[in-house]
Amino acid sequence: EAPAKPRRKATAEQMAQRQREISVSEFFAKNRHLLGFDSPTKALLTTVKEAVDNSLDACEESGILPDLTIEIRAVPGASDRFVVSVEDNGPGIVKAQVPKIFGKLLYGSKFHRLKQSRGQQGIGISAAAMYGQITTGKPVQVWTKTGKGRPAHRLEVQLDTRKNVPVVLSDTEVDLEKDHGTTVELELQADYGRGQRYLLRYVEQTVLANPHLALTFLRPGADPLVFPRASTEPPKEALEIKPHPHGVEVGTLMLMATESKYRDVRSFLQNSFSRVSGGVADEILGNAGLKRTLRTQQLADDRELAEKLRQGILDTRIMAPSTNCLSPIGDELIRQGLISFLSVVEEEAEELPQLELLEKGARRGRKKAPVKTSEEKQAELEKAAADAVPPEPGEEIIKGKKFFIVSSTRPPKVYRGNPFQVEVGLAYGGDWPQDKTIELYRFANRVPLLFQRGACGVTDAVMKTDWKKYELQQPRGALPVGPMALLVHIASVWVPFTSESKEAIAHYPELLAEIRLALQDCGRKLAAFIRKRKAAAYELKRRSIFELYIDELARSLHEITGADREKVKGDLVVLAREITGGEETDEILDRVASNPKKRRPTDEE
């Protein structure tokens, strides 16, 4: 068949003239939703989050207990514009770095090293600045001071989106009272009315995952929220590590060899990777069938050699990466976190549905109870506990409601050479409805994930766990249903997100498998708890059945034999208790019951 007559022909030459380089800032300006700026609602949270992430990372790295103030200010005369300001007491930023940090995408200290941190891409804060600039035309402002007695600077920075380079609009020395710290402030198109609920959730969850943080949140038209520091112990510090040989692919191996300053492959292996001693290096080379004298440059140039070496690495048993590169939240904090969420959820169950990317409408006027310090919580707990049977291990009493709380921390594992660790917390019980989908709280490197729940690997892992085994209902291919909250935290030197906005975790099988294992561990404990309760409830049910008939039987026996009716009845009652688990049944069910008056199931149930 003959091609039809072309209507108009662009030649290869004509087409070639149109080929152009695209700067990364142009790309993201157009694809701003990839960075979390798809709506004025989300833009607000994304901006706050990026600034807070940076402050927390900087404080952590320089050993400072963070003290942050987030401020949202309305812009007079423009209902769709707000100013976001985040102030920290961090180490400050060397003046020369300020323009690039705030005015250039893909610039930062965290991308090129393997270390658990909140930020990792070098995109976030400069993307926020760019969004502000595009939507309002205004530059980002930065105040920073790096130490006592040193000068403080205020800079206004713009981003040249065509070239992805910063433009400094002004640069002045200013007075700052504090010894050190940074304030970043920018104006952007935003919707605070709709966005505030996400902000509040973000702030609460961030405080919970970072108990060493003191935070003040200043909001338009509402009282400030003040979260005092809950712990003066900073989280365990995550150390930087080198890549693990098992995660390295041929192309990467060749690139590393090219850039290596070590001349022989043996030293290259020992110095560029973690867990490779001289002995291990020898074993790798042996397995690869390569000489110990092989030079690194040969490896860089010869694909066949690199392939052999990689095979040698894969054939060699090498210790798993050290775990000190990871800083999990820890069992205790996860439990405290869950307890705290539950307090909020219990209060506002009807007000705060699960968050989704598209909000269905603004919810205003939400009341907020400041999170209590751990001392206050402790006092409350003790008070509630005093009135009740002492809880079993795993049980907690929160505002008079009984919850079963467990957590599980997996040992660190590796995907593509990146160590990571999964933690899961589970809370069950209270007065929550039996027929609602569970609450799911997702965290990555201590940062709460509030959007794109449906696209997240964590959600997928929860859905693909068979909760029916653990005594919960679960519609096919969906989250389980029941009075339960789950907290899932992934700590990693490199968290794979589904997009640059870091809202959801990608579906890497290694990650999903670990999450599932942690969920299963919690699930098994939950199932044991529920079954025990069910068994006790069954015993009580049995007892109530026997008790129902005892009176009648005693009368008949009395009428036939003349035996004392009360005596026979008493004997039967004692027997009924013995046969149905005795005191133990009472106790288990006492613990379950929120309301002691409703304790006994009657025949009407």
Partner 1 sequence: MATRDVTAKKTLAKIEALAKGVVQEVKKRKNPRLVVPLRTLSNVQFNAKKKIIELGADKQERAFFNVAQAKKFMQTFLVASACKELLEVGKTTSIRDLYYMTKHTLGDTRQNTFDEQDESDPIIEDLEVTVDALREELHLFANRKGLMVGPMTVIDSGDTIDLRRQGSGGWGVPSIVEPNVIRFGKTEAKYVLLVEKEAVWSRFNEDKYWKKEQCMLIHGGGQPPRGVRRLVQRMHSELKLPVYVLVDNDPWGFYIYSVIKQGSINLAYESMRMAVPGARFVGISSFDPERYRLPDETAIRMDDGDHKRIKQMLEYPWFEKKQWRRELEAMASNNKKYEIEALSRRGISFITEEYLPKKLRDRDFLE
Binding track, positions 166-205, relative to a copy of itself; x by CB under 8 A: --------------x--------x----------------
By C-beta, is 248 or 405 nearer to a copy of itself?
248
Residues ≥6 apart with Cβ < 8 Å to 215 = 68, 69, 70, 203, 206, 207, 225, 226, 227
Binding track, positions 425-454, relative to a copy of itself; x by CB under 8 A: ---------------------------x-x
Contact between residue 113 and residue 104 where contact means Cβ atoms under 8 Å apart: no
Residue 577 is a binding residue for partner 1 (CB under 8 A):
no
Left, alpha or beta for 53 (phi > 0: left; psi -120 to 50: alpha)?
A: alpha
93 contact choice in a copy of itself, partner 1, none (CB below 5 to 8 Å, kind-dependent): a copy of itself
Residue 546 is a binding residue for partner 1 (CB under 8 A):
yes
Q: Which stretch binds a copy of itself (CB under 8 A): 230-238, 262-270, 390-398, 535-543?
A: 230-238
Q: Which long-range contacts (CB under 8 A, 24 or more apart) does 26-29 make?
A: 26/161, 26/162, 26/164, 28/105, 28/123, 28/127, 28/130, 28/500, 29/130, 29/134, 29/161
Residue 93 is a binding residue for a copy of itself (CB under 8 A):
yes
Residue 576 is a binding residue for partner 1 (CB under 8 A):
yes
Q: Which stretch binds partner 1 (CB under 8 A): 209-217, 275-283, 457-465, 568-576?
A: 568-576
- How many residues in the chain? 605
Write out the H or E segment, with its range, that includes residue 415.
strand 413-415
Q: Which listed residue (54, 117, 146, 343) binds a copy of itself by CB under 8 A?
A: 146
Q: Work out how close the CB of 529 gets to partner 1 at its nearest, in angstroms, rounded to a whole number.
A: 24
Q: Which listed residue (46, 116, 141, 161) binds a copy of itself by CB under 8 A?
A: 161
By C-beta, is 368 or 565 nearer to partner 1?
565
Q: Which listed residue (301, 382, 510, 551) binds partner 1 by CB under 8 A?
A: 551
Cα 97–Cα 99–Cα 105 angle in degrees, nearest 5: 100
By C-beta, is 326 or 550 nearer to partner 1?
550
Contact between residue 500 and residue 120 where contact means Cβ atoms under 8 Å apart: no
549 contact choice in a copy of itself, partner 1, none (CB below 5 to 8 Å, kind-dependent): partner 1
Q: Work out how close the CB of 196 gets to a copy of itself at its nearest, in angstroms, rounded to a whole number.
A: 19
Contact set for a copy of itself, span 560-599 (CB under 8 A): none
Residue 578 is a binding residue for partner 1 (CB under 8 A):
yes
Write out the H or E segment, with its range, that includes residue 187.
strand 181-189
Closest-CA residue to 107 (of 118, 116, 119, 117)? 119
Dist. CA 55–CA 88, nearest whole Å:
6
Dist. CA 506–CA 504, nearest whole Å:
7
CA 530 distance to own-chain centroid: 27
Contact between residue 64 and residue 46 where contact means Cβ atoms under 8 Å apart: no
Residues ≥6 apart with Cβ < 8 Å to 326 = 116, 238, 412, 419, 420, 421, 491, 492, 493
Strand partners, 214: 67
Q: Which listed residue (159, 568, 588, 589) binds partner 1 by CB under 8 A?
A: 568
Dist. CA 48–CA 72, nearest whole Å:
9
- Angstrom CA distances, 343 to 150, 215, 335, 390, stand at 45, 20, 12, 20
By C-beta, is 169 or 572 nearer to a copy of itself?
169
Contact set for a copy of itself, span 243-302 (CB under 8 A): 249-252, 254-255, 259
Q: Which stretch binds partner 1 (CB under 8 A): 163-171, 178-186, 196-204, 573-581?
A: 573-581
Q: Which stretch binds partner 1 (CB under 8 A): 273-281, 504-512, 529-537, 563-571?
A: 563-571
Q: Work out how close the CB of 454 gets to partner 1 at its nearest, in angstroms, rounded to a whole number.
A: 45
Residue whose pair of structure tokens reads 């009407």 in the numeric block: 604
Residue 571 is a binding residue for partner 1 (CB under 8 A):
yes
Residue 534 is a binding residue for partner 1 (CB under 8 A):
no
Q: Which listed residue (307, 346, 347, 590) binds a copy of itself by CB under 8 A?
A: 307
Residue 226 is a binding residue for partner 1 (CB under 8 A):
no
| Alpha-helix runs per DSSP H in 289-330 | 296-301, 303-314
Q: Which listed residue (345, 414, 537, 572) binds partner 1 by CB under 8 A?
A: 572
Dist. CA 208–CA 338, nearest whole Å:
9
How many binding residues for partner 1 (CB under 8 A)?
Answer: 26
Residue 517 is a binding residue for a copy of itself (CB under 8 A):
no
552 contact choice in partner 1, a copy of itself, none (CB below 5 to 8 Å, kind-dependent): partner 1
Residue 561 is a binding residue for partner 1 (CB under 8 A):
yes
Residue whose pair of structure tokens reads 């106790």 in the numeric block: 587
Q: Work out how close the CB of 556 gets to partner 1 at its nearest, in angstroms, rounded to a whole number.
A: 4
Dist. CA 270–CA 444, nearest whole Å:
31
Binding stretches for partner 1 (CB under 8 A)? 542, 545-546, 548-549, 551-553, 555-557, 559-561, 563, 568, 571-572, 574-576, 578-579, 602-604
